[in-house]
Structure 1
């Protein structure tokens, strides 16, 4: 891995869940961290940047790690699609305008892939199904054309996670988690593994790299352990009806549903990433979901 000690590293989205982990990891190896975003990051210098409006100030930066993004599972509709496009696509264009040939690691998502059987490698055609997946795919095409390193993690989890695990816990009903059956294997990504990959990727050739924990997990085992209650299987058509209702309600409330059509797809499709391309560059994911559970404070 290229040493970052003494380098000035710009981290966009550094106030967010993933960005703050990356900023801390960069500082831990001796980098001078500059945090770009609407809010300050966990350490280092803060430079205000609204990805929907302005070109970021990257003066003095030796490396750019881009994690600013519109994320989540928004209510369907043109307004949400436009909001995601403004950050994930137009914001990328503004970032590229400022990079000026600096090395760029652009964090995308496995949501750019359509669910498919078998391990998914980086050559799989892109086809995100939601505003998030579609705009991340469009943004990374621009970044790839500019010579960036693209990282595609799936389902990032860890301490402070505001999306994946809280949503699972909201799905608890009557002392159980209702999931469409049967069980399946899924790739997940510890935020520490993603942070390590961001730092390591500063020395990788341009292109796309899948990022995930070393081995896929049993969905049911992970959900039961995260929620502290057993899993009960329900028929997929019933789960689909619940998701349809949740999506309809979200249109009215403008809030993310606990179970949307997209979330249903993620829970019923065995998405396993092939991470051999990143491994070939010497990256080794060391954290596991068991490590997360062991470090989690007792309820």
Structure 2
């Protein structure tokens, strides 16, 4: 396979991302993309990519894309033999939980998450002792071990629905403090929080929103619910990455700012070229550990296969399946 042949075979893909990757830079990406497409066919593999992946991954090699809830649902539906998760480790674990007989690969084992690292299974057991009988709703941004100690999982897109579906006056919601506080403001259910925070979203401030509006009159501000509550209050809309994408695609604001990870704006902009994206983004260092090169290596070398202790997997799977059933 030569670079010239790879360029010819991937030219149609460059058209999708030409506003973000200049033609002069495309040869750097084309060979890996061409190899990945061939490897997927050889191995009967699919690539699931989170909305925070860079455009050359999201638009050129991914088969299924979305937020964490969408990826969880899509993982169940795929008939592929191999799943490569272009995202962070907890997402790959969730895919493995839902596909125990399939090979699930994470291109970089260090692609972690500050939320997942903020709580342990021992912490969850401690919460149960302090609040006996109170259901524990666990954000999917957690390890399988933490999910196994929980009653049900949720995502930022379905958190309120999950909380209210339990039909109880009080729940524990972990680990994201800001997500829990933002959901508490929308429901009559009392929510006990944990002190975890997303290192990307916690950096946004209400002052940032006011500065955006001053610098860009008329800009529509969309905030992820992992942002601090005062940021969500200042914003025009708050929702999951899927909800933000739907907002832009449906309402077509003239100018919009997404208070979330950097690549989100780039990926939505591909489908909405008429919208002006103001980009006050913060970078997720964990998501950016996933690259075309290590996706290719994952498929070539079966690197790095995700495994979960069967004693943990069964209980964790139940928590995820309860969420998907709602």
TM-score if structure 2 supplies the norm length?
Answer: 0.25
Higher RCO structure (Cα 8 Å, ≥6 apart)? 2
The structure whose Rg is larger is 2
Name the structure where helix makes up a greater proportion of residues. 2
* TM-score normalised per structure 1: 0.26
